[in-house]
Every structure is written in C-alpha cells, then in structure tokens.
Amino acid sequence: MKILLIDANPKTSDYSHSKWAADHYVDALKEKDHYVEVWPLYQMKIPMIDEEVMSAFGKSMKGMELTEEEFEKMNLRNLILDKFVKFDHYVIVSPLWNFGVPPQLKALIDVIAVAGKTFKYTENGPVGLLEGTFVHIQASGGVYKDMMEMEFGNRYVSHIFKFLGLEEKLALLIEGTNMGDFSRNDYQSTLDDWVTKSVREVM
C-alpha cells in the first residue's frame, strides 16, 4: 500500500511528541512492507493562496494568460496536488498550535482542496473524490475533553479529509504534553496499542 506521511512540524522527533509517535507507526508499517513517503512540509515550498494565486484562479476561469509568477505558483500547486491524490493511506502528523493546525498544513490543505479534483458539487451537496483512509497524530500541551469547542486542530483535520472522501481511522491524540507530568515512557504502552491496532487496519 502507498502511504503518505504529512509531517507538519518543524521540530525533530527528539523534541516533537507527535513525530516521535509517528516514527513508531511508520516503522511498523514498513515492517508490513508498506511503502511510506514523507512530506516534510516545513522543508517544502507550498505556494499559499495569495494575490497572484487569486489572480490566476480568476484568469484561468476566463481562459486568460497568466504572468510568469502566476504560472510558476500554479504549476507548483498542481504538481503537489497531482502527487497528493496517488496515495492509499494518509498519516497527518501535527502539533496543536493556538488551538489550530500549523500554517504549513493549512497551506497544503489549500492546495489539495480543489473542486473538480478532490471534491465536487452535486445537487445533494459536495462529494469527496478521494479514495483511501487517513489517521491524524496530534500532540497538544493541554487536554481538551472538557473544552472540545476550543480544539480546532484534530476536529479540522478530521472534517476536511473526510470532506475529500477519505475514511477516517482512529486518531492518536497525545494530550497534556505541557502539563508537567507527561513522559514518553508512561505513554509508550498507549502508543504501542494504538500502533498495533492501526497497522492492522491498513490493508
């Protein structure tokens, strides 16, 4: 199975709990002979929706010629999108920052959520066009069970990837990493259980 790991954290696994957990998942997937490609978003150029991209959107609809800068940005966005759609399973790895997802992950989502390519509008509302599954691995300094309305990281990832047609598998939410008593040793058995269960679901 072709798996894409979307790494939305500028830190290394030594300092990032979500990446540390993702490393275990990837090792287990590779043991089962799955192919795993990693996209380190903080080392990638992902053209965000800016003035030029907005202008290119408008011009493309009218069949107008793009400037060189507009063409370059649109070309790179299309290349990323074309590669993105070719996987069977997606692993999104991110920290919770200011109650939401890191901006590089949002930039990628703004590249891949394209009407006519990854979703379409129908009489009965929008329909996702991707096939496959995804899991989200997120670490957060706080614990959100009593204030879910403040959590826009996992809830956003969950909704947007389902919107694109992918089936959600059980997320790993590593919570309370900034609350003093979090330890990787203590968390290891929870992680191992999740990895065992999740790898079994990737077929």
Give whichever of 10 and 165 is closer to ligand FMN, judged by the CB atom. 10
The one-letter amino acid at 57: F
In three-state secondary structure terms, 11 is: coil
Q: Site size for ligand FMN, by CB under 6 A?
A: 17
Give whichever of 96 and 109 is closer to ligand FMN, judged by the CB atom. 96
| C-alpha Rg value of the chain to the nearest Å | 18
Site string for ligand FMN, 43-82 (x = CB under 6 A): ----------------------------------------
Give whichever of 12 and 124 is closer to ligand FMN, judged by the CB atom. 12
Reference 91, options 174, 4, 21, 1; nearest CA is 4
Nearest distance from C-beta of residue 24 to ligand FMN, angstroms: 13
Buried b or exposed e, range 56-90, using 16+ CB within 10 angstroms: beeeeeeeeebeeebeebbeebeebbeebbebbbb
Nearest distance from C-beta of residue 90 to ligand FMN, angstroms: 18
Site string for ligand FMN, 16-35 (x = CB under 6 A): xxxx----------------
Give whichever of 133 and 177 is closer to ligand FMN, judged by the CB atom. 177
CB-CB contact of 178 with 55 (8 Å): no
Residues paired with residue 191 on neighbouring β-strands, in sequence order: none
One of 140, 157, 194, 202 touching ligand FMN (CB under 6 A):
140
Tell me if 9 contacts ligand FMN by CB under 6 A: yes
Site string for ligand FMN, 86-125 (x = CB under 6 A): ---------xxxxx--------------------------
Angle (CA) 140 26 1, round 5°: 125
Q: How far is CA 196 from CA 24, 31, 32, 122, 181, in A?
A: 10, 12, 11, 38, 25
Interface positions with ligand FMN (CB under 6 A) = 9, 11, 16-19, 95-99, 139-142, 177-178
